Amino acid sequence: MPRSIRACTFLDKGGTGKTTTAAHLGVALAEQGKDVLLIDLAGKQGDLVKHFGCWETVERQIADDNDWPNISTVFQDQWAAIAEKLGDAAVEDLVLQTDEGVDLIPAHPGLDSLDAELGNIDDAHDRYSRLDSFLDEYIEPLGYDAILIDLPGLTNNVSYNGLWAVRNVIAPVEMGPFESEQAEALRADLDKIAANFDVDVNLAMVLPNKVDTRTTLAEEYLEAFREAYPDAVAPAHVPVSQDIRNAAEQGRTAFALEEPSTTAARAREAFLENAEVLAERLADARAVRPDGGDSTDRGESA
């Protein structure tokens, strides 16, 4: 059974705040004393890395051809041989340390072709379990308490690998009809995964994000999400905050702001509260999976 608690930010839609949520929940868990690893599978643009001001380092490595091995390498048939040849350096070279208490495996341009490469693998179990095997064999020995993965905003072979590996989904949602439909579609997707692959994936947290409670419509959708996902909805919504967007552009999270605005301070409090509850939910889900396999009906299980 994995030592770490694991989850991914995922919704089959872009722009809902998945990357911002992964970054802030990661830092919130670190603030609460956990050793945290973030993994960026969301695409070569490296948005998660940019939240921590590390993108220039990654770009320089790529430009200098000093970017191997990288996150796409761990999905390849040759990874075991590469790891054996390089020893501890194989994994150590993947991980960046940030100034905000979390470690990070950054995205890489190799992710662009990864979906097609995985699609060429005939055996479904092998196709979808490669990330799980990497985490179990190479990341778990490093002793992280929590692993959070930022997945692409669409359902593909890379997303399936992430879902298979962590079995727990954090779905950031904005307050609107389309987001409500996407959240319901996510639940249907998880049911489909369970039926097709005999792998249950738990909807661990539906996180209302960028909420402007000054509008009646937002309040109505907030209440609708609470009714639709009573066991999975986050205890605190994250308010809309220009400060969070500004901080991301500066290469940091809201936790690194010396003088946060009122909305940024409220967002930090929300992420801290949600991180604490998320850790409890993930620990409970892990506890009832003695073999690290099937999940339980806790929360909104598929």
Distance, in Å, from the CA atom of 27 to the CA atom of 248, rounded to the nearest integer, reads 13
Say what the pLDDT of residue 282 is: 96
Give the architecture (CATH level 2) of 5-301: 3-Layer(aba) Sandwich (3.40)
Give the up-direction half-sphere exposure of residue 210: CA atoms within 13 A in the CB hemisphere. Answer: 15
Q: What's the rounded mean pLDDT across residues 15-42?
A: 95
Say what the pLDDT of residue 289 is: 57
Q: Are 32 and 272 in contact (CB under 8 A)?
A: yes
pLDDT, tens digit, 9 for 90 and up, residues 196-228: 777 788 899 999 999 987 888 888 888 888 888
In the chain, where the domains are located: 5-301
Count of beta carbons in the 10 Å neighbourhood of residue 297: 12
Provide the pairing of β-strand 300-301 with 96-97.
Answer: unpaired
Say what the pLDDT of residue 288 is: 64
Residue whose token pair is 């801290």: 272
Q: Are 3 and 71 in contact (CB under 8 A)?
A: no
Q: Are 69 and 76 in contact (CB under 8 A)?
A: no
Distance, in Å, from the CA atom of 46 to the CA atom of 52, rounded to the nearest integer, reads 11
Q: Are 141 and 33 in contact (CB under 8 A)?
A: no
Say what the pLDDT of residue 1 is: 62
pTM listed for this prediction: 0.91
Q: What are the strands of the beta sheet with 146-150, ordered from one edge?
A: 96-97, 102-105, 36-40, 146-150, 5-9, 168-173, 202-208, 300-301
- SS3 of the chain: the string is CCCCEEEEECCCCCCCCHHHHHHHHHHHHHHCCCCEEEEECCCCCCHHHHCCCCHHHHHHHHHCCCCCCCCCHHHCCCHHHHHHHHCCHHHHCCCEECCCCEEEECCCHHHHHHHHHHHCCCCHHHHHCHHHHHHHHHHHHHCCCEEEEECCCCCCHHHHHHHHHHCEEEEEECCCHHHHHHHHHHHHHHHHHHHHHCCCCEEEEEEECCECCCCHHHHHHHHHHHHHCCCCECCCCCECCHHHHHHHHCCCCHHHCCCCCHHHHHHHHHHHHHHHHHHHHHHHHHHCCCCCCCCCCCCEEC
pLDDT, tens digit, 9 for 90 and up, residues 253-299: 999 999 999 999 999 999 999 999 999 999 988 776 544 444 333 33
Q: At what angle do helices 177-197 and 216-228 cross, to 10 degrees?
A: 20
pLDDT, tens digit, 9 for 90 and up, residues 94-104: 999 999 999 99
Q: What's the rounded mean pLDDT across residues 4-29?
A: 91
Residue whose token pair is 């890489």: 108
